[in-house]
Amino acid sequence: MKLYDGGRAPNPRRTRIFLAEKGIKLPTQQIDLGALEHMSASYAAINPLKRVPALVLDDGTVITESIAICRYFEALQPEPALFGRDALETARVEMWNRRLELHLLFPISHVFRNTHPAMKAMEVPQVPAWAEANKPRILDFIGIVDRELEGRPFISGDNFTVADITGLISLDFMKPAKLAVPDELKNLKRWHADLAARPSASA
């Protein structure tokens, strides 16, 4: 089994944090995104969509998409449960993971990819007007998340889950996208600080 990893990019980091929380270590090969190694023919033979991470099993089966790789290990090693336990918890984790992706991770990614000079070769063409359109939506959403976090430790309830990991990698992704969390969002800042202090955050 081998994990093709992608350094500081948010999705590879999401998988690494998940594996660290599970205590799982994998043989890993770094793909250098800055050198466009993920666009090479040899990597496209592993993932025709040319994205990281990718997990290659011993029989050659390839699993891509960070959350699909996480679900694979959740099924193989259920503890600690990071996708919820019963029907309601499973649904709440999925709801929050998706809300955080659709209204935070992906919009931040749109801002980063469509404005950052380092993304010129990967995002063709860059559309700065689309980045601008996303900025107020990100601020609206983190205001909603801040109110939701009032009185609860983690985003889907009392337990740490994969949705919190998505929250952490998204909030950390705001810095290279040149976005900032307003100081008055105290619950969001407390949540971010708690997640960043877990040993898994450095994975």
Least Å distance, CB 73 to a second copy, is: 8
Binders in 29-88 for a second copy, by CB under 8 A: 48-49, 57, 61, 63-65, 67-69, 71-72, 75-76, 86-88
Distance CA 35, CA 45 (A): 18
According to CB under 8 A, which one of 20, 39, 40, 94 is a site residue for a second copy? Answer: 94
> Residues, the chain, total?
203
7: left (phi over 0), alpha (psi -120 to 50) or beta: left
Binding flag, residue 103, a second copy (CB under 8 A): yes
Nearer to a second copy, 64 or 170 (CB): 64
CB of 64 to a second copy, least distance (A): 6
Q: Which stretch binds a second copy (CB under 8 A): 22-30, 123-131, 175-183, 195-203?
A: 123-131
d(CA 84, CA 94) in angstroms, rounded, equals 9
Q: Which residues of 93-107 are buried (b: 16+ CB within 10 A; e: fewer)?
A: bbebbebbbebbbeb
What is the total count of residues that contact a second copy (CB under 8 A)? Answer: 33
DSSP code for 47: -
Q: Which secondary structure element, helix H or strand E, spans residue 3, and what is its range?
A: strand 2-5
Residues binding a second copy (CB under 8 A): 48-49, 57, 61, 63-65, 67-69, 71-72, 75-76, 86-88, 90-92, 94-95, 98-99, 103, 106, 125, 127, 129-130, 133, 141, 144
